[in-house]
Structure 1
Amino acid sequence: MTTARQVSVPCPIGRAAGLLGERWTLLILRNANLGTTRFDAFRAELGIADNILSNRLARLVEAGVLMRVPYHDGGRTRQEYRLTTAGAEVLPVLHALAVWGEEHTKPAEPTGSMQVIHQRCGQVTTPGRVCDGCGELVRREEEAWVRPWLSPDPIILASPVTTGT
Structure 2
Amino acid sequence: MKNRSKHSRLMQRVHDLEKLLRLATMSTTKLPPRKRPLSNQRDLLLPWKVVADVMKQELEASEACQVILRDRIDMSVAVIRDMQRFASLHHMYLNKDAVFQHFAFPPLSSPERVQEYDLVFTESDCYYLLQRSHLTFDVPMEALRRMNHQHLCSLLLLADSTSNDEKVVPSRNLYK
Higher share in strand: 1
Larger Rg over CA atoms: 2
TM-score by length of 2: 0.20
